[in-house]
């Protein structure tokens, strides 16, 4: 039976450590990190995520501001607001909650954020830094997974890792972070032929395909480490992952639950990157 990776517990530990570091810097500089979050429209999931981010930012001692903009907000208005935060030295992290309404160009909005304040790591410059082997801002979910590997002493060098899902938010940056640790990485997706057969060869399996209970025990090698990034609702409204937890846990060595697995670590790494952006700003 697999050991369960306690993402919630690890996140609490790291956030407590971050609160101590923030308090110390406040004593030394009289300043604290500032995180600005912009959310457009009333998507229920986005509202929950934003509330959790705001709560975490305040808990670790940051200045936090959430701009909740109406669905009809125009692109130029949003870009102008981003620019005010770009220019304001009191704000070290800027986050635009995705998805955006259909009339707003997501790529243009992400590109408008100052790369040094892009704590989500989605700006093309930060993506390029990651792929060139010189990361500065890294998407928070993959960064959180790497912290889990560190905490649970998961050896990556020389191991075969399979990532299911090729999004810019999880799959692609995850593959690059694993490569940087000398894992041998296969990046797969919903149209990959013989997907279960490929996945079953993995020492480390990371699933971010966005389909509830997509991965069964037929996808998993005995003793593999399984990371479930999925956040889905079943027919009863219950939160489930992309992995059939009960059956996969019988053969994996380590596995993340849903909830209380990857999710809390995503927010924690967002806070950590805001803190690091603040520290870099002090050197300018």
Q: Residues marked as binding for NADP(+)?
A: 165-167
Q: Which of these is catalytic: 15, 97, 176, 273? A: 97
**Is 75 known to be catalytic?**
no
* Omega prior to 9 cis, within 30 of 0: no
Q: Residues marked as binding?
A: 165-167
Q: Which of these is catalytic: 6, 116, 118, 120? A: 120
Strand-by-strand arrangement of the 34-40 sheet:
63-69, 34-40, 93-96
**Is 47 known to be catalytic?**
no
- What is the Cβ-side half-sphere exposure of residue 219, based on CA atoms within 13 angstroms? 28
Which two tokens mark 7? 């993402």
Q: Which of these is catalytic: 6, 15, 53, 242? A: 53
Question: What residues contact residue 124 under an 8 Å CB cut-off, 6+ apart?
Answer: 110, 111
**Is 120 known to be catalytic?**
yes
Torsion of CA 221, 210, 97, 107, to 10 degrees: 100
Closest CA to 149 of 204, 108, 95, 106: 204
Which two tokens mark 85? 């935060």
Closest CA to 15 of 27, 26, 5, 23: 23
Write out the catalytic residue numbers: 53, 97, 120
């Amino acid at each position: 039976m697999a050991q369960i990776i306690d993402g919630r517990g690890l996140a609490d530990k790291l956030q407590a450590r971050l609160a101590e570091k923030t308090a110390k810097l406040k004593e030394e500089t009289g300043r604290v990190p500032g995180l600005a979050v912009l959310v457009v429209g009333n998507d229920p999931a986005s509202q929950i995520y934003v509330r959790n981010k705001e709560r975490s930012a305040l808990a670790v001692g940051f200045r936090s501001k959430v701009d909740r903009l109406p669905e009809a907000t125009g692109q130029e208005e949003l870009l102008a607001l981003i620019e005010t935060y770009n220019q304001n030295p009191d704000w070290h992290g800027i986050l635009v909650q995705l998805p955006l309404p259909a009339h707003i160009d997501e790529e243009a909005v992400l590109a408008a954020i100052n790369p040094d304040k892009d704590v989500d790591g989605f700006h093309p410059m930060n993506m390029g830094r990651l792929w060139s082997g010189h990361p500065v801002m890294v998407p928070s979910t993959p960064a959180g997974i790497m912290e889990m590997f560190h905490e649970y002493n998961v050896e990556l060098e020389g191991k075969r890792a399979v990532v299911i899902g090729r999004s810019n938010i999880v799959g692609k940056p995850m593959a690059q972070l694993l490569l940087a640790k000398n894992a041998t990485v296969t990046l797969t997706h919903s149209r990959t032929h013989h997907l279960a057969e490929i996945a079953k060869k993995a020492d480390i399996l990371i699933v971010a395909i966005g389909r509830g209970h997509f991965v069964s025990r037929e996808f998993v090698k005995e003793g593999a480490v399984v990371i479930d990034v999925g956040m889905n609702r079943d027919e009863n409204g219950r939160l489930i992952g992309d992995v059939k937890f009960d059956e996969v846990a019988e053969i994996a060595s380590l596995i993340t639950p849903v909830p209380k697995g990857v999710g809390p670590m995503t927010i924690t790494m967002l806070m950590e990157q805001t803190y690091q952006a603040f520290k870099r700003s002090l050197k300018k």
